[in-house]
Amino acid sequence: MESIISVRKLTKSYKNVKAVKAIDFEVEKGEIFGFLGPNGAGKSTTINMICTMLKPTSGDIVINGYDATEEKDAVRASIGIIFQENTLDEKLTANENLLLHCRFYHVPKEQREKRIHEVLEIVDLVDERYRRVETFSGGMKRRLEIARGLLHYPKVLFLDEPTVGLDPQTRAHLWEYILKLKEKEGITMFLTTHYLDEAEISDRVAIMDQGEIIAIDSPTALKDQLGGDMIELKTEDNEQTLKEIEEKIEEAEVTVDGDTIHLKVASSDAFISTFMQNFTIPITTLNIRKPSLNDVFLAFTGRKIAEAAKE
Amino acid sequence: MEGIFAIWQRDLLKFFRDRARLFGSFTMPILFLLIFGGGMSGSMETMMASNMPEGGEGFNYVEFVFPGIVSMTLLMTSIFSAMSVIEDKDFGYMKEILVSPISRVHIAVGKMFGAATVATIQGMILFLLIPLLGLSYQLTALIQVIPFMFLLACALSALGLLFASFIRSTQGFQLTVQILVMPMIFLSGALFPVNNMPTWMDIIVKINPVTYGVDVMKKIMIDIENAQAAVLDAMGLNITVWGREVTIVEEILFIAGFATILVLFATLSFKRANA
């Protein structure tokens, strides 16, 4: 695969803090690249450097063949950014916002009409084209921002927490649009989010913590690294159960959290059948689940993402 | 160049769309004209007359103060329009501008032209009051003065931009700028002649760009060729720097230079900005 973003030894230090510590990674053409980590992990600093908004202390960033510190304008023309907060001019209409963007990005005059229509169609806002943005709902504004980010046909679209502040329904809808974009346009997407379940749509994810990238792979591979499925078990006599597990099932990794026994097993199917045949103690609850990215985060950092964010 | 145009157009579009601002922009200068033109002309003319040998027959205060009020309107509107930079930062739009490939100079120049155009429009609105005030300026003089008004407004907008680039809140901007604007008006010869000032004040008068702006406007608008030397003297239309009377061309160059230097400084702040 050809890479569209390549980051080498990227470092950013402030007076006495190293916010980003010599990180390396590549983003491949056409993939959805999830960039995860708690607040203060150095995510925003990294993205700002990639987007030419912040000067790196050292290291190289190459996007679409251009150097992010030397050829800023070429890099800026190659990327589209959907910021966490609203950056539309609400006093203007959707059409005016889009036209201004065409001008900022030197979209040729004769193509503007076609492209505006095209991007509005992708996000289902054709009918709202001449309405003022201040009359839009939160979800519509987000969609309009995505449309605007696509106007200049960027090679990479950065989505910084695109669903923050949206209700679950709108959120699900927005992901549909984003997936549609990936399929139809083949745009590379660089995505940051707090919601680890949303990051599951990524082809690959990088997990950043305390200025370093601690894991980078596809979500499935990362979860497989954790070794199989998670089982949560409550029984009437946990001590006896633990003893029996030790005797009869060898390959399980066991931890106890209060009155819950957590088991990590290679395959839950095989485990359950052995378990049912051999155990005598009555079970009060049994919960089987596939590991989530949250478990991955927990395994790599020793903390849950929510706890890490509080630090 | 398209970037300059886009930024300029956006600021203008927003100006015409904001009803309250439009209304305010019409009324404020009119109010000033009424107060200064109507209220003060009597006393000012008596005061001036006592200083003049022939009893000050040729001195018409309203004629004197009108270009001053226009300059004052230019000053206030230019500087306050530059506040849009802070608003754009607050509402996030500045990010959209800063991540785009527009050159940073074009951003600053576009903003300067936007504020200056709004100010010039407001200044021109005042021209409508000329017949009501019983004044008669030559039409050619009014047409000649418009490009100059735009230049002056550019210089003052650049000053506003510079302040807007390092002040973070709109409240802070308004406070700071008010402290700046008042002396700039009073020590410019806009409302009263700035002859015979104490030295330290005279220095402020001479470095104040509004002084030259007001002076050029008065020289273009008031029929100086047919006026008595004593009246011109009393009006203060003979600014001397280092013992030499400055010419209109020098004044225009000074203002243009002021605009250029300040807009470049404002550009620097856009360059290192990471909004």
pLDDT digits (tens, 9 = 90+) for A76-90: 999 999 988 889 999
Domain with CATH 3.40.50.300 in chain A: 3-223
Contact of B87 with B143, CB cutoff 8 Å = no
A76 neighbourhood in chain B, CB within 8 Å: 99-101
Quick one: what percent of chain A has pLDDT higher than 70? 95
Contact of B28 with B122, CB cutoff 8 Å = no
CATH ID of A227-290, from 3.40.960.10, 3.20.20.80, 3.30.70.860, 3.40.190.10 = 3.30.70.860
Quick one: what percent of chain A has pLDDT higher than 90? 36
pLDDT at B275 (0 to 100)? 42
| Max mean pLDDT range (A1-10, A181-190, A229-238, A260-269) | A1-10
| Max mean pLDDT range (A90-99, A179-188, B24-33) | A90-99
- Structural tokens at position A106: 């030197």
When pLDDT is averaged across residues A248-266 and rounded to a whole number, the result is 75
In this prediction, residue A132 has a pLDDT band, given cuts at 50, 70 and 90, of very high
Contact of B30 with B123, CB cutoff 8 Å = no
Question: Is B92–A83 a contact, with Cβ atoms under 8 angstroms apart?
Answer: yes
CA distance B95 to B236: 47
CATH ID of A3-223, from 3.40.50.300, 3.40.50.1980, 3.40.50.2000, 3.30.1490.190 = 3.40.50.300
Contact of A208 with A36, CB cutoff 8 Å = yes
CA distance B78 to B226: 33
Distance (Å) from the alpha carbon of A48 to chain B's nearest alpha carbon:
8
pLDDT at B273 (0 to 100)? 58
B89 neighbourhood in chain A, CB within 8 Å: none
Cα–Cα nearest to A272, from A226, A309, A210, A228: A228
In this prediction, residue A303 has a pLDDT band, given cuts at 50, 70 and 90, of low
Backbone angles phi, psi at A308, to 5 degrees: -60, -35
Question: Is B96–A101 a contact, with Cβ atoms under 8 angstroms apart?
Answer: yes
Parse chain B into domains and list their residue ranges. Answer: 2-272
Per DSSP (E only), the strands in chain A are 3-13, 18-28, 32-36, 58-63, 66-67, 79-82, 156-160, 188-193, 204-209, 212-217, 229-235, 253-257, 260-265, 283-289
pLDDT at B56 (0 to 100)? 52
Cβ burial A239-276 (10 Å sphere, 16+ → b, else e): eebeebbeeebeebebeeeeeebebbbeebeebeeebe
When pLDDT is averaged across residues A122-143 and rounded to a whole number, the result is 91
A148 neighbourhood in chain B, CB within 8 Å: 96
Contact of A171 with A1, CB cutoff 8 Å = no
C-beta pairs of B57-61 under 8 Å, 24+ apart in sequence: B58/B227, B58/B228, B58/B230, B58/B231, B59/B231, B59/B234, B59/B235, B61/B37
Per-residue pLDDT 10s for chain B (275 aa) are 888 999 999 999 998 888 787 787 778 778 878 887 777 777 777 776 666 655 555 677 888 888 888 998 899 889 988 888 999 988 889 989 999 999 999 999 999 999 999 999 988 888 888 888 888 888 888 999 999 999 999 999 999 999 998 888 889 999 998 898 989 988 888 888 887 788 888 888 888 999 999 999 988 888 776 666 667 776 777 777 777 778 889 999 999 999 999 999 989 888 875 54
Has residue A60 got a pLDDT over 80? Answer: yes
Considering only the beta carbons, identify the residue of B17, B102, B274 that sits closest to A104: B102
Domain with CATH 3.30.70.860 in chain A: 227-290
Q: Is B164 exposed, middle or buried (0-12, 13-18, 19+ CB in 10 A)?
A: buried
When pLDDT is averaged across residues A184-208 and rounded to a whole number, the result is 86
Cα–Cα nearest to B117, from B77, B65, B144, B84: B77
Q: Are strands A156-160 and A188-193 parallel, antiparallel or unpaired?
A: parallel
In this prediction, residue A311 has a pLDDT band, given cuts at 50, 70 and 90, of low
When pLDDT is averaged across residues A27-47 and rounded to a whole number, the result is 88
When pLDDT is averaged across residues A93-103 and rounded to a whole number, the result is 95
B3 neighbourhood in chain A, CB within 8 Å: 103-104
Distance (Å) from the alpha carbon of B113 to chain A's nearest alpha carbon:
16
| Max mean pLDDT range (A30-39, A99-108, A115-124) | A99-108
Distance (Å) from the alpha carbon of A81 to chain B's nearest alpha carbon:
8
